[in-house]
Amino acid sequence: MRFRRQTAAYRAVVLAAFIVVMLTGCVERVRAQADRKRIRIRLEPFSADGMTGDRELIEYAFYNLLTNAVKYSPPDTEVTVAGHRDNGRLRISVRDQGYGMSRQELREIFTKFYRTRKAEASGEAGTGIGISIVQQIITHHGGRIEVLGEPGKGSCFTVVMPAGEATPEPQVH
């Protein structure tokens, strides 16, 4: 997948405040889906630095991670979003209490169109391409995505991105 770079439309810095606002917006967009399954979404407070990137693509990546966390978790569980700075990088994690994945599934999860056996058996709609796109977005921005999971114990996807200095938002007239 190729991502467009438009000189005027491409915003090179995601502001520190925007990261928290973006994550809060993603949580709110997923809230109705979570409420239907009585899944609590918790956004842990954290101070974020700026990061370089395209806001829409980064927002899409986190929205996808959140919708997957809710989609593949049983009712009455919790999804947690947390972040911190670590050696010049931002680490933002989405952790669920869902089905989890075997070691083999963890190795395959970023393959286009791959779905775990539990995901296929869940009855939830999906194509298996979302996580692959998320990985491409994060890699495109100089980051990486880490995943941990164990069957029956949930999964944790952590986006690791270069941290930058927060800069003032330019005014568009």
So what's the pLDDT on residue 7?
38
**Is 8 domain-assigned?**
no
User: How much is the pLDDT for 78?
Assistant: 96
Give residue 97's pLDDT.
93
State which amino acid sits at residue 11.
Answer: R
Residue 5 in any domain: the answer is no
Residue 113 confidence (pLDDT) = 59
CATH of the domain at 67: 3.30.565.10
pLDDT of residue 25: 92
DSSP label at residue 149: E
Whether 89 maps to a domain, the answer reads yes
Q: Determine the pLDDT at residue 38.
A: 97
What are the contacts of 107-111 at 24+ separation with CB within 8 A? 109/147, 110/135, 110/145
- Residue 156's pLDDT is 96
| Per-residue confidence (pLDDT) for residue 173, from 0 to 100 | 44
Within-domain flag for 131: yes
Q: Which amino acid, one-letter code, is at 12? A: A
Domain that holds residue 113: 13-164
Q: How many domains does the chain have?
A: 1
Q: What is the mean pLDDT of each run of 10 residues along the chain (173 residues)?
A: 44 61 91 96 80 83 94 93 86 91 82 63 64 90 91 92 59 44
- Spatial distance between the Cα atoms of 67 and 94, rounded to a whole number of angstroms: 10
Tell whether 170 is covered by a domain: no
Answer whether residue 122 is part of any domain.
yes
**3-state DSSP call for residue 96?**
coil
